[in-house]
Amino acid sequence: MSRFLGAIAKAAHIAVFFLGLILLLGYFWVSGTFEHATIDVMFIYLTLPLTGVDKRYFVQFLLYVALAALLLLLGALRLRSAVAGGRARWLRRRGVRILSAVVSAGVLVLALGLWEARYGVYGFFFPDTRFYTYFEDRAAVVDADEVAFEGARRNLILIIVESMESVVNDAAVFNPPLMPAAQALERENSAFSGHRETVGVQGSISSFFAMMTGVPLVSSSHLRVWGNTEAEDEPEFVKTGVLPAQHDLQKKSHFFKAGRAEDLEGRTGNWNDDGHNWGVYDSYLYARSRDVLAEAAAAGEPFVHIIQTVDTHLPGFYEPGMPAPHGDIRDSFRQADVLLKDHLDWIRAQSFFEDTVVVVAGDHLLALSEVGGIALPPVEGRGIAVVFLNAAQTAPPRGTRRLFGTWDVAPTILEAMGARLPGNRLGLGTSLFADRETLFEKEGVAFHEEMIRKRSRLYNRLYRWF
């Protein structure tokens, strides 16, 4: 019996040590690879092989975390056996066992402490079950009848450029800047800086959701519920979309179906020639966009057209023949800059442009900790770029340097088109064209970062209604 209990204790000891190593090595790998991503976003990347999309992160996890932990475990067991085995005295063997148990527990506690301090793992796996009134106290739920729309602009084109954020044109990081045309675009149009990213907007779809509704997408499960909700009324405009994804990552198809998309493009064509394993190349995407826009304009009805690029998401998405002197994502950003400028030049030359607001925005921060050996600065001072071309309002009374979240883009888009919202607000968002403080400016970013995670009856009701 004592032998059996001893074997169980030894197995448990080894398991605790191995788990501690996995968590500790995993923490350093995750913090160096994903930088600011939330736990649910990490799970998406690690499970991508299940969708047949991208194996790189799963393979890196196996090599840098699982295999490394196994080798360290075997080395530790060999060292323990050498010190406490053979003819070693009873006291020495006892001391080695106690020391190894303390080390195992210490590694596990250290790893859990690091994960909790940076990513709040306890709250993720054991969420607070209480309901809070954060959304009830702050969200502006606006009925369509409350919106005065003078029709200053009939059409909207929203171009979401993957990972286009402030750091790509920060001269202190990249000199020359990676997207000089986009930088000029900000100077020549209504461009807002000072964006801060929080939980609920750190993925492409969650960011887009917030830009359209003024509400963050706290969990991917919320999108599934929202995406399966049928709309009751037909829209009075044509809604088209050009998406890059070959796969249904984050339920993109549900998102656009529930949004009454009549033309869901970017999922056809020769993927071997026109794209990579994440989707089509940006050049193909913009070419399809021009075709779809021409058709929408010819129909004579107001339209909303949405483009989501992908080539600047991860290193290695190079188009054939694309200049790639660096061999990393810097080349992809420079190519994306050229393609974006060409597409905007084409849009400006069309007859529908004078009646159209064009919004160019990034979706989220760059999900890398370094680029070409250049360490990226802390995420606290970084944000996505948001530019409005041909906006009905061009002189925001509080200027263009603000402190705002992704959800503030939603009411700003509406007011850029000439709409007048009650209190200039929608959801948690405040129009940046209005003389009003955003929630971040009123109460600080940290407060909202914490409270967005809390349960809310209004939020649960809202995402079902959406």
- Angle, CA of 267, 268 and 272, to the nearest 5°: 100
Residue 192 shares a structural domain with residue 339: yes
Backbone angles phi, psi at 429, to 5 degrees: -85, 150
Residue 429 domain-assigned (yes or no): yes
Residue 133 domain-assigned (yes or no): no
Residue 18 domain-assigned (yes or no): yes
Q: Is the pLDDT of residue 289 over 50?
A: yes
Domain finish residue from 87, 102, 125:
125
Residue 209 shares a structural domain with residue 238: yes
Residue 371 shares a structural domain with residue 423: yes
Q: Is the pLDDT of residue 239 over 70?
A: no
Residue 326 shares a structural domain with residue 413: yes
Least confident of 40-44, 243-247, 450-454: 243-247
33 vs 387, higher pLDDT: 387
Going by pLDDT thresholds of 50, 70 and 90, the confidence category of residue 208 is confident
Which residues is 359 bridged to in the sheet? Answer: 158, 388
Domain finish residue from 125, 155, 171:
125
C-alpha distances (whole Å) from 113 to each of 105, 288, 451 are 12, 49, 22
Residue 260 shares a structural domain with residue 403: yes
Residue 91 shares a structural domain with residue 176: no
Going by pLDDT thresholds of 50, 70 and 90, the confidence category of residue 315 is confident
pLDDT of 183 reads 95
Q: Count the domains in the chain.
A: 2
Q: Is the pLDDT of residue 249 over 70?
A: no
Residue 120 shares a structural domain with residue 173: no
* pTM tops 0.85: no
pLDDT of 247 reads 41
Domain finish residue from 125, 152, 168:
125
How far is the C-alpha of 188 from the C-alpha of 391, rounded, in Å? 12
pLDDT of 10 reads 79
Going by pLDDT thresholds of 50, 70 and 90, the confidence category of residue 301 is confident
Residue 378 shares a structural domain with residue 414: yes
Residue 68 shares a structural domain with residue 217: no
51 vs 192, higher pLDDT: 192
Question: Mean pLDDT of all residues in the chain?
Answer: 81
378 vs 94, higher pLDDT: 378
Residue 79 shares a structural domain with residue 145: no
pLDDT of 464 reads 54
Going by pLDDT thresholds of 50, 70 and 90, the confidence category of residue 350 is very high
Residue 131 domain-assigned (yes or no): no
Residue 331 shares a structural domain with residue 446: yes
Residue 313 domain-assigned (yes or no): yes
Residue 225 domain-assigned (yes or no): yes
Going by pLDDT thresholds of 50, 70 and 90, the confidence category of residue 180 is very high
pLDDT digits (tens, 9 = 90+) for 390-424: 999 877 888 889 999 999 999 999 999 999 999 99
How far is the C-alpha of 403 from the C-alpha of 394, rounded, in Å? 18
Going by pLDDT thresholds of 50, 70 and 90, the confidence category of residue 84 is low
Residue pair 283/311 in contact by the 8 Å Cβ criterion: no
80 vs 36, higher pLDDT: 80
How far is the C-alpha of 252 from the C-alpha of 266, rounded, in Å? 12
Q: Is the pLDDT of residue 39 over 80?
A: no
The sign of the dihedral angle between the CA atoms of 151, 389, 381, 406 is: positive
Count other C-beta atoms under 10 Å from residue 375's C-beta: 9
pLDDT of 272 reads 44
pLDDT of 176 reads 92
Residue 351 shares a structural domain with residue 412: yes
Residue 132 domain-assigned (yes or no): no
Radius of gyration of the chain (CA): 25
pLDDT of 288 reads 85
Q: Which residues, at least 6 apart from 426, have a Cβ–Cβ distance to it below 8 Å?
A: 140, 142, 213, 214, 410, 411, 414
Residue 187 domain-assigned (yes or no): yes
Write the CATH number for 249: 3.40.720.10
For 42, the domain range is 2-125
Residue pair 208/466 in contact by the 8 Å Cβ criterion: no
